[in-house]
Structure 1
Amino acid sequence: MAFQCQRDSYAREFSTVVVACCPTELPALAGEDPKAARRGFRVVLEDTLLFPEGGGQPDDRGTIDDVPVLRVTRRGAEADHFTEMPLAPGSQVCVRVDWERRFDHMQQHSGQHLITAVAEQLFGLKTTSWELGRLRSAIELDSPSVTAEQVAAIEQSVNEKIRARLMVSVRELSPDNPEVEQVRGRGLPDDHAGPVRVVTIEGVDASMCCGTHVSNLSDLQIIKILGTEKGKKNKTNLLFLAGQRVLKWVERSHESEKALTSLLKCGAEDHVQVVTKLQSSVKLLQKNNLNLLRDLAVHVARSLRADPDWGGVVALHRKDGDSEFMNIIANEVGAEDTLLFLTVGDEKGAGLFLLAGPPETVETLGPRVAEVLEGKGAGKKGRYQGKAAKMGRRMEAQALLQKHARLRGLEG
């Protein structure tokens, strides 16, 4: 049996009767922690305006007598509506659908049917699955690659058919009807019962589908194929937007373009050229900065080595620097009779540390220094280095090293 949402995808309000309502756990959404399920109620209606997830299409949202419906799933011939408030069995209720979400799903789903049919007709590219994503949708094509020319041809053809205002119709066929064998589809669910629902795009495609669809391709407005990406097992994912999503995408792109125009002080046609020049300048500055940092590290190392107080535990902290900076200092110093404790980063926040010196001593004290700094690290051959979460505790770590040096007679 088809639900009201399948018989009339454009209906926004519908009256029906509550058949059953029982306590249950609200299932977690995709991406949510399964343990985060909430207590609620499973409501079954005589018929429903809210589409239960299926056929690659997410479920609808809406209300039953102003009670929000948080999920809708299919169970055989019935739809389960999950709510946080109970509804009285036998009561007449008004079901309203979140129309913006519904129409978006209709546009993306009908757009998928159209792209799938055209891709197969033009290039023999068969669809193996699809996903209606929150921001964009993806069609998995049974091919290791799809060329830019093929993408352009598919996009041009589907938009020509949208402009031709081709009708989209829905029929219900008996499972033993020979025509069922002629329509496209990936098979019926194991618990399917009743007639087979066939969605037909005039002169283009006929396929089995349970989803909600537009009645005319003109309601798709436009389709934009964003490109392709490598799929799994020699497949290619075709990424696309349909209808209002294209307009939202254009709006976001336009806002980004305006922001870049303001930042770069040039027209949109020059953005790429200006950014390319900026990237080259940044690379040159980074190279020069790295050379200066290396020279500074050598100078610092020699200054430390020449200091009259050299010996025992030598500590140095700099706000700027990186692992290479510390390693250059350690290489230049090159003394195994001294504990060298170097840190870089925010004085009160996170940073990096390096401990160098006698291998056995470093092997023993390195993990303890990391523990004091609430970080982690690793080491070998007289060096231990890693990340620190609490650089403000470096004096505690230094005191630990000095105590060990006194006990071992390393203090100079």
Structure 2
Amino acid sequence: MTKKLYWEDATVSSFKSNILSIEPYEIDPSKFVVVMEETAFYPEGGGQPWDEGTIGSSAVVYVYEENDTIYHVVEKAPTETKGVDCQIDWERRLDLMQQHLGQHILSSVFEKLFSATTVGFHLSNEYVTIDVTKDSLTYGEASLIESEANAVVFSSLKVFTHFPNDEELKKLPLRKPPSVTEGIRIVEVEGYDFSPCGGVHPLQTGSVGQIKIRKWEKMKGHIRVEFVCGGRALKDAAWKNRQINEISNLLSIKDVETKEFVEKLVADSRKLEKTLRTYRRELMDYQIKELHASAEIHKDCSLVVKVFDGEDFKTLQSMASSLNQYPNTVALLATKTDKAQVVFTRSKDLDINMNQLFKEVIELVDGRGGGNPQTAQGGGSNLSNLDGLMTAAVMKIKNEYLK
């Protein structure tokens, strides 16, 4: 059993310990697993990531616990085994402690204000989420929750840990029941919250700095709330402040006017897009009429042949769908973009297998695709031979399909 120094004092960032064993790491034999008599390295568990740092000159990259023994995965085997100097990456540890205690406080506030229980918790290197038993969450409710949570933070309440016996445990107002039956550890936020937890936390709530709810969404019948605390909240505010200032400067408006101004821009943009779609449709209708009017007549059939430069393939498909509504019409359309793309189609009154025609010529552009007897489409990489493909298709239509 490894002695857990982090349970005795979560602020310990450096310590000395004796190494009991050094073994190759089974998952990655290039690394080693170190077991020590005592450790301040927190192992992965309880939703909290592991500590990093050094054992001697060996970098600790992962820490886990099995059967009360804590295993430290290191990059290289330590050269000393007695009284080895160990150092915790304190910036990482403090960040994780801020997030974890912030979660306790936020979960407690949800419980107190809305009787919403926390049923899920995830602490990553970037953000924290909790899943709460609430059907919905409004901005007003989120603001109220955030204000109450930060009031707890700013009160600098002390944080205690308890290892109660059965009788003592029954008297505690636990926010949730323990998940274990032995060695139960309770983390108390001075008279405000009592929660079973094996993680590490600051010694008082003021160290959390600030709790900021970032966003929320419905998730499997619950609400998933994403938030950040402490240094993460400061960084979150910094980049948002920078961006809002850059946007307001770009638009030559006050920062407080940004939302309303952007909403107007979006509304105007949507109106313009709608108008542009209308004009594009009218233009395409005109193009289709012009294409059909100028088509070559062969054997009483209108033969529409057009190669576009840079036209969108969806537009090409739409034009083909309109052209095949004309009677006695064959349309061979192509566009040159980053590759050669073609659409062959014909009106329903013609007995021509456009898919067969397509298959006969598509290899000229090293392409592939297919369709049905009325319409076939596809593309290829050989742009330089697209004109040759179209010429071959026209010749086949005239000489083989419209005899």
| TM-score for the superposition, normalised by structure 2 | 0.83
Structure 1 position 96, deviation (Å): 1.5
Does 1:267 find its partner at 2:254? yes
CA deviation digits over 1:33-87, x for unaligned, max 9? xxxx674222222222221111111112222223222221221211222223223
Q: How does 1:365-404 map to 2 (within 5 A)?
A: 379-380=371-372, 382-385=374-377, 390=381, 392=383, 395=386, 398=389, 402=393
For the residues of structure 2 that align with 1:251 and 1:321, how far apart are their CA atoms? 41
Letter in 2 for 1:113: H
Aligned twin of 1:53: 44
Deviates more, 1:208-217 or 1:86-95: 86-95
Q: Find the aligned partners of 2:383 and 2:125 in 1 and give their Cα distance.
A: 43
- Aligned with residue 169 of structure 2, among 179, 185, 188: 179
Match of 1:340 in 2: 332
Query: Relative to 1, partners in 2 of residues 1:172 and 1:392: Cα closer, same or farther, differing over 3 Å?
Result: farther
Q: Which moved more, 1:277-286 or 1:56-65?
A: 277-286
The aligned residue for residue 281 of structure 1 is: 268
Q: Percent identity?
A: 25
User: Could you tell me which of 233, 242, 245 is aligned with 2:232?
Assistant: 245
Aligned to 2:20: 19
TM-superposed deviation, 1:107: 0.6
Query: Is 2:188–2:194's contact at 8 Å kept on the other side of the alignment?
Result: yes
Contact 1:313 1:401 in 2 (8 A): no
| TM-score between the two structures when normalised by the length of structure 1 | 0.82
Deviation at 1:227, TM superposition (A): 4.1
Does residue 142 in structure 1 map to residue 133 in structure 2? yes
Match of 2:286 in 1: 299
Q: Which moved more, 1:122-131 or 1:2-11?
A: 2-11
Q: 1:68 to 1:112 in 2, by over 3 A?
A: same
Bigger drift between 2-11 and 330-339 goes to 330-339
Alpha-carbon contact 2:295-2:305 (below 8 Å) kept: no
Larger Rg belongs to: 2
In the alignment, does 2:110 pair up with 1:119? yes
2:22 and 2:266 map into 1 onto residues whose CA distance is: 62
Contact 2:35 2:70 in 1 (8 A): yes
In the alignment, is the contact (CA less than 8 A) between 2:48 and 2:96 conserved in 1?
yes
Change (3 A) 1:370 1:207: farther
Q: Which residue matches 2:191?
A: 203
What runs of 5+ residues in structure 1 fail to find an aligned partner?
A: 27-36
The within-5 A match list for 1:17-166 is 17-26=18-27, 39-88=30-79, 90-166=81-157
State the AA in 2 paired with 1:257: I
Specify which of 355, 368, 372 is matched with residue 344 of structure 2.
Answer: 355
One-letter amino acid of the structure 1 residue matched with residue 112 of structure 2? Q
Find the residue that maps to 1:214 and give its secondary structure.
coil
Structure 2 counterpart of 1:5: 6
Letter in 2 for 1:272: K
Matched, 1:258 2:256: no
Indicate conservation of the 8 Å contact 1:294/1:325, yes or no. Answer: no
Q: 1:81 to 1:405 in 2, by over 3 A?
A: farther
Check 1:382–1:150 CA distance in 2 against 1; reply closer, same or farther (3 A cut).
same
Q: C-alpha separation between the residues in 1 aligned to 2:362 and 2:31?
A: 47
Does structure 2 retain, via aligned residues, the 8 Å contact 1:297–1:325? no
SS at match of 1:70: strand
Matched, 1:224 2:216: no
Q: How far apart in 1 are the matches of 2:275 and 2:354?
A: 33
Measured after TM superposition, the shift of residue 254 of structure 1 is 0.9
- Please tell me whether the aligned partners of residues 313 and 405 of structure 1 are also in contact (alpha carbons under 8 angstroms): no
For the residues of structure 2 that align with 1:53 and 1:3, how far apart are their CA atoms? 13
> 377-386 or 128-137, which moves further after superposition?
377-386
Aligned residues: 393
1:197 Cα deviation after fit? 1.7
Residue 140 and residue 330 in structure 1: after superposition, are their counterparts in 2 closer, same or farther (change >3 A)? closer
Paired position in structure 1 for 2:161:
170
Residue type at the aligned position of 2:4 = F
Aligned CA distance change for structure 1 residues 261 and 372 (closer, same or farther; 3 Å): farther
CA distance in 2, matches of 1:336, 1:151: 65
The equivalent of 1:32 in structure 2 is none
Shift of 1:128: 1.1
Contact 2:6 2:41 in 1 (8 A): yes
Change beyond 3 A, Cα 1:12–1:355:
farther
- Structure 2: runs of 5+ lacking an equivalent: none
Deviations 1:135-156 (A, max 9, x none): 3211111222234443333222
Deviations 1:362-387 (A, max 9, x none): 3346578888878886745622346x
Q: 1:368 to 1:38 in 2, by over 3 A?
A: farther
**8 Å Cα contact 1:294/1:328 also seen in 2:** no
Give CA-to-partner distance per residue, 1:107-157, whole Å, 9 cap, x none: 111011111122212221111121113332111112222344433332222
